[in-house]
Amino acid sequence: MKVLFLDESGDHNLSVIDPQYPVFVLGGVIMEQAYAEGPLTDAMNAFKREMFERTDIVLHTADITRNRNGFERLQDPLFRKRFCECLNSLMSDLRYTVVACAIRKNDHLARYGVAALDPYLLSLDVLVERFCFDIGRIAGRGVIVAEKRDPTLDRQLELAWLNLKIQGTHYLRATVVEQRIVALNLRAKQDSSPVCNWPTLSSLPSGGTYWENPTTTIGASSIASSAAVGRARSMAMALSSCQNNRGQPPLRSDQPTSL
């Protein structure tokens, strides 16, 4: 069984766009469930014990960069340097596939106006396609795990998932989605399990990369430094607006690119 763990960066609201970060990113990591619950969990817990002498700390990028919620020691330059080096090494050694869809919201809204789709739901379509391609022609091979938000947004996500199983995407039939992915499960944001920490560390830095250079193809990168994640693969291009007009070729590649 393969699992796609999802996390987001930025606000998906098109009514208010922050000029300092007008990008929304839905990112995730794909890995085998047995690997996630075994070697990856063991490695992540060992890293947490070495750094903080505890395993219940939640590795959220915002907390790491702001030295809060258990990461206050990162204010010490020497400890922060050690933390970054160990984290980069860990991310390079583990096996996972990174997928991310980045949308420049102002361009998306300017192009489609009132018909512009919600960036979260649009990005979900893209990542579900990537996941189905990664699974291959095997029924019941995948499950998606997303982060809970608020009850209204959670219901919207569940409805969007139901719609994907009924209508499919522009490039995948509904039967393919339903056959290959058995469920979409929601987990609490405060979940400290290593597999739930991984998406924010491995895929969400793509938002900053894309904001700085919107023409780049985003690879996997560490939040800690500019070191690339050696064994990760990126399968989704950063898109200024990925809501394709019908009849146009897809703006994203179907083939993964090795780093």
pLDDT in tens, 49-77: 999 999 999 888 888 889 999 999 999 99
pTM of the model: 0.78
Number of domains in the chain: 1
Q: Is pLDDT at 157 greater than 50 in this prediction?
A: yes
Distance CA 200, CA 127 (A): 15
What pLDDT score does 199 carry? 61
Check residue 258 and give its pLDDT.
29
pLDDT in tens, 170-216: 889 999 999 999 999 998 766 656 666 666 665 555 555 555 555 44
Q: Give the residue, 166 or 195, on which the prediction is more confident.
A: 166
Percent above pLDDT 90 for the chain: 42
Q: What pLDDT was estimated at residue 135?
A: 94
Strand (E) positions, the chain? 2-9, 23-32, 97-104, 142-147, 181-187, 233-234, 257-258
Q: Is the distance from CB of 41 to CB of 182 less than 8 angstroms?
A: no
DSSP 117: P
Asked whether residue 30 carries a pLDDT value surpassing 70, the answer given is yes
Give dist(CA 118, CA 213) in Å, integer: 23
The strand pair at 23-32 and 97-104 is best described as antiparallel
Give pLDDT, residue 206.
52
Q: What is the per-residue pLDDT across 82-112, written as a single tens digit (0 to 9) for each?
A: 999 999 899 889 888 888 888 999 999 999 9
Q: What is the pLDDT at residue 195? A: 63
pLDDT digits (tens, 9 = 90+) for 113-137: 999 989 988 999 999 999 999 999 8
Q: Determine the average pLDDT of the residues in 237-242.
A: 35
Q: What is the pLDDT of residue 11?
A: 85
The more confident residue out of 151 and 250 is 151
How many Å apart are CA 76 and CA 157, to the nearest integer? 40
Quick one: pLDDT at residue 165?
93
Structural domain for 151, as ranges: 2-258
C-alpha to C-alpha distance for 85 and 64, rounded to whole angstroms:
14
Q: Which residues pair with 184 in a beta bridge?
A: 144
Sign of the Cα pseudo-torsion (136, 92, 227, 221, in order): positive
Tell how strand 181-187 and strand 142-147 pair up: parallel
Asked whether 203 and 7 are in contact (CB, 8 A), the reply is: yes
Query: What pLDDT score does 77 carry?
Result: 95
Long-range contacts of the stretch 226-232 (C-beta < 8 A, 24+) = 227/88, 227/92, 228/92, 228/259, 229/91, 229/92, 229/98, 229/202, 229/259, 230/92, 230/93, 230/259, 231/92, 231/93, 231/94, 231/95, 231/96, 232/91, 232/96, 232/97, 232/98, 232/202, 232/259
